[in-house]
Chain A
Amino acid sequence: DIQLTQSPSSLSASVGDRVTITCQASQDIGNSLNWYQQKPGKAPKLLIYDASTLQTGVPSRFTGGGFGTDFSFTITSLQPEDIGTFYCHQYDQLPITFGGGTKVEI
Chain B
Amino acid sequence: QVQLQESGPGLVKPSETLSLICTVSGGSVSGYYGSWIRQTPGKGLEWIASIYYTGRTSYNPSLKSRVSISLDTSKTQFSLNLTSVTAADTAVYYCARSGDWFDPWGQGTLVTVSS
A residues sitting closer than 8 Å to B (CB atoms) are: 32, 34, 36, 42-46, 49-50, 55, 87, 89, 91, 94-101
Contacts and interface: CB of A to CB of B under 8 A. Distances in A.
A98 B45 contact: yes
A17 to B, nearest CB: 25
Given A42-B107, A43-B94, A95-B47, A32 B100 contact: yes
Contact of B47 (A32, A49, A98): A98
B100 A44 contact: no
A44 B35 CA distance: 14
A34 B105 contact: no
Contacts of B60: 95-96
A95 B94 contact: no
B105 A43 contact: yes
B106 interface: yes
Given A32-B100, A43-B107, A44-B102, 17 more contacts: A34-B101, A43-B94, A44-B45, A44-B94, A44-B105, A46-B101, A46-B102, A87-B44, A89-B45, A89-B102, A95-B60, A95-B62, A96-B47, A98-B45, A99-B44, A100-B44, A101-B44
Most buried by A among B50, B62, B103, B107: B103
Contact of A50 (B62, B100, B103, B105): B100
Interface in B45-60: 45-47, 50, 58, 60
B34 interface: no
12 contacts: A42-B107, A43-B108, A44-B102, A46-B101, A50-B100, A89-B45, A91-B100, A96-B47, A98-B44, A100-B44, A101-B44, A101-B45
Contact of A94 (B58, B103, B105): B58
Contacts of A36: 102
Given A34-B101, A91-B101, A43 B46 contact: no
